Structure 1
């Protein structure tokens, strides 16, 4: 089968088309013929050598796919209400940039009615992450407010829509007027252009000094101190990325005085059982919103995984370059041709 592999750590050009044996599904797994693969920030970090795959995971990048079940553990599929030939999207620990991949049955979800495989491939990584961190770890409730850093990212556009659909007041930061407008169009109540505005001052102004109940942060570093200042009493800060660095200083007295919670998580290395619980919650709480059109996939650009015009044979190079440019709003997806 064709795959996109990391030939060496470095710039996007280290991604290249290669041949690998087709994977074989084991107990509790299915083999999927991949139609589309989602691109995510962790893929970029893995390519750079900063985010190695967990032990036992494929070295091929790619954390989410959509396609058709070809084979697998029939008993496990039956328990999950799936069968050979079903269209599914799946969360992976790796191996998604390939014509075929293996996924735990527990991490597969049916493609929501009315969605294409390209749209479905954009769902698992961001929807699992947002559900786990905003609604479970962050405990966002109806009537509360949330500040989402990086509203134009794949995580951002998902968090905006889900938080709004579940009755929250939504604030976002984004870079530039165009991204801010896109966030507002998705349902955000306020969009703060962090290139020209101080989000701490803006949150204080908009909330009359109260602050927000929850902050979803992908930056960390110097943002932590500022986000603590943005939180209301009993507020929660959930960190899911450290693009701004791992070291931070903040006013610990504010944490005590306002009874704040600072937490965070990563998803990739968590157990299948943990991810299964999220999948079940998504199927119950979120898939109906997708099928009703109340929440929609946001696709920025689609590239061909197998691209004869590319010097490395794959459009993944351009996809990663676009991801690193931060010019996109929503998800970037690779598509696979005939096998």
Structure 2
């Protein structure tokens, strides 16, 4: 680790692997180019926050996330994120509003469930959806015309797709960006190791905004 990066920041960067996932998904799978738009749903989660921040430093014209409540949407906006409040408008309406109806070029979907079909419909023509996780459920329903008329692409994500060299290079790039102050991983709470069960419970039931860490 660079000397200028403290342990807490490094732990927040790596916990949940959201930043690493976003970097590999955008650079190795999605064919992302500067000037494109990215949607990373779930403002409180690792992929949502990591996706937005990594997309920005890679040159995204817009990096958008979502919240399921106004409280979380407000927290995200306070942290500098562009957030669609799903308690006030649909995902499609929010993306259309923010992209002047064009849609997004890449979706980093760490949520799945009902959101996947909506996110697929938010793609621009020739857009790509990377399926990363399934915090909202493993079953999704899609409209096949969103695939056909948008010439959409769908990729699954897992770390086994990448070589150790690719993963190490991405990790090094992210730590450098963290040291330079370009990334700002959020920490929800730090628990002592003896309270690991409470930390896990917060993750499972509290849906916190930011990473949950254990102090050794």
Match of 1:11 in 2: none
Match of 1:179 in 2: 72
Q: Kindly report which structure 2 residues correspond to 1:164-243, keeping only aligned pairs within 5 A, or say none.
A: 164-168=56-60, 169-188=62-81, 190-243=82-135
Are 1:274 and 2:154 matched, yes or no? no
Which digits, 9 at most, give the CA deviation of each residue in 1:86-134, with x for residues without a partner? xxxxxxxxxxxxxxxxxxxxxxxxx233222222222232232121223
Q: Distance in 2 between matches of 1:316 and 1:327?
A: 16
Of the structure 1 ranges 256-265 and 152-161, higher mean CA displacement relative to structure 2 is found in: 152-161
Q: Kindly report which structure 2 residues correspond to 1:1-339, keeping only aligned pairs within 5 A, or say none.
A: 111-124=1-14, 125-168=17-60, 169-188=62-81, 190-267=82-159, 270=160, 274-283=163-172, 285-305=173-193, 314-336=194-216
Higher relative strand content: 1
Cα pair 1:112 1:120 within 8 Å, conserved: no
Q: Distance in 2 between matches of 1:182 and 1:248?
A: 28
Question: Are residues 332 and 275 of structure 1, via their aligned partners in 2, closer, same or farther at CA, if it must alter by over 3 Å?
Answer: farther
User: Offset at 1:142?
Assistant: 0.9
Larger of the two Rg values belongs to structure: 1
Higher relative helix content: 2
Aligned residues: 213
Q: Which runs of 5+ in 2 are unaligned?
A: none
Structure-1-length-normalised TM-score: 0.58
Q: Which runs of 5+ in 1 are unaligned?
A: 1-110, 306-313
Structure-2-length-normalised TM-score: 0.89
Cα pair 2:117 2:143 within 8 Å, conserved: yes
